[in-house]
Amino acid sequence: MKLATLNDGSRDGQLLVVSRDLSRAVKAQGVNTMQQLLENWSDFEPGLQQQYAQLNNGELSETLFFDPAQVMAPLPRTHQFVDGSAFLNHGNIMEQAFNLTIKNEDNRPIMIQRQGDDFRGPCEDYPFPSEADNGDFEGEVAVILDDTPMGVTPAEAESKVRLLVLMNDVSMRAHLFKEIQLGFGFLLAKPATVFGPVAVTPDELGEDWKEGRVHLDMNVSRNGEWFGNPNGGEMDFSFGELIAHLCYNRNLRAGMVLGSGTFSNEKYNKVGSACLAERRAIDVIECGEPKTDFLHFGERLRFEMFGRDGQSIFGAIDHRFVQADSKR
């Protein structure tokens, strides 16, 4: 099942059921918002699955043309968003390039709590205060959970995944190391996150959702030019393992969003990267200094993942970086 949130002017929008080919949509029956659905999944999911089947079979008369420019993030806001760094290759590249030493003797997953009250839609212009903030992007996937109790095993945790989403984890690299040195986590370095047009249930990925990982390429382009297509199968910690680690001492509630961290593969010379920081680190390794610029105003980014049948899974994040209005 594929779901989206129409921007109707309200904070949480109107929940839509979207056809598998992303061409048509219909207002969800019996439930208005994504958060309402997630908090009452067992009540509403069967009816929405039936509506989804009818939509795909052409059995519904009153449908809408699905326009990604008219939707918000599938879940426009939530009470908790945690982002991981589950592709250890990314960290290995950064350590090699900049002679960093990361102490993680017990090999625990790297995660950080993030802003969850202002998710951005897939086609919105993204305002930056200044190019000096060193704008960056990170192509990721995230899971959205049902209620998940403290102490779950990885297998139990994976069963709580209700939806998957595509995301661009926007960064302001000029602030990152300054904030790390303060010893209290990121703030200005990680502004609002951008999400793809639709959220999908795990079955939509078929055999490419296995072992708690998305075994598909993250296709990234910058100004229409290929930037990378790393695969999610090299994720070192599965989503089940990340969730179980987080649930060691807490419950997680329906609507919790957990990101994978930027996709990163060992054969980066073949598949490229999904973020600028990694590409710049590779420049340092290969050339002795960064050659790749951070983002400039007016640049356009696109992120998309395709199934084995060539069909776009989540639709595309396709947006520009622009000068922020100083009055905002």
Residues 176 and 211 in one domain: yes
pLDDT of residue 97: 87
In a domain, 70, yes or no: no
Residues 131 and 58 in one domain: no
pLDDT above 90 coverage of the chain, percent: 89
Average of pLDDT values for 109-136?
A: 96
Residues 80 and 59 in one domain: no
- Predicted confidence (pLDDT) at residue 326 exceeds the cutoff of 60: no
Residues 222 and 267 in one domain: yes
Residues in Cβ contact with 9 at an 8 Å cutoff, skipping those fewer than 6 apart = none
Q: What are phi and psi of 303, to 5 degrees?
A: -130, 135
Residues 180 and 285 in one domain: yes
> Does the pTM exceed 0.75?
yes
Nearest Cα to 268, choosing from 93, 34, 40?
A: 93
How many structural domains is the chain composed of? 2
Residues 40 and 84 in one domain: no
Query: 192-237, pLDDT tens digit by residue?
Result: 999 999 999 999 999 999 999 999 999 999 999 999 999 999 999 9
Residues 108 and 34 in one domain: no
What is the rounded CA–CA span in Å between residue 33 and residue 6?
Answer: 10
Residues 34 and 143 in one domain: no
Residues 94 and 235 in one domain: yes
> How does residue 104 score in pLDDT terms, banded at 50, 70 and 90?
low
Residues 45 and 123 in one domain: no
Average of pLDDT values for 252-269?
A: 97
Q: Which domain holds residue 272?
A: 75-323
Query: 158-201, pLDDT tens digit by residue?
Result: 999 999 999 999 999 999 888 888 888 889 999 999 999 999 99
Residues 42 and 181 in one domain: no
- Predicted confidence (pLDDT) at residue 327 exceeds the cutoff of 60: no
Beta-carbon neighbour count of residue 112 at 10 Å? 14
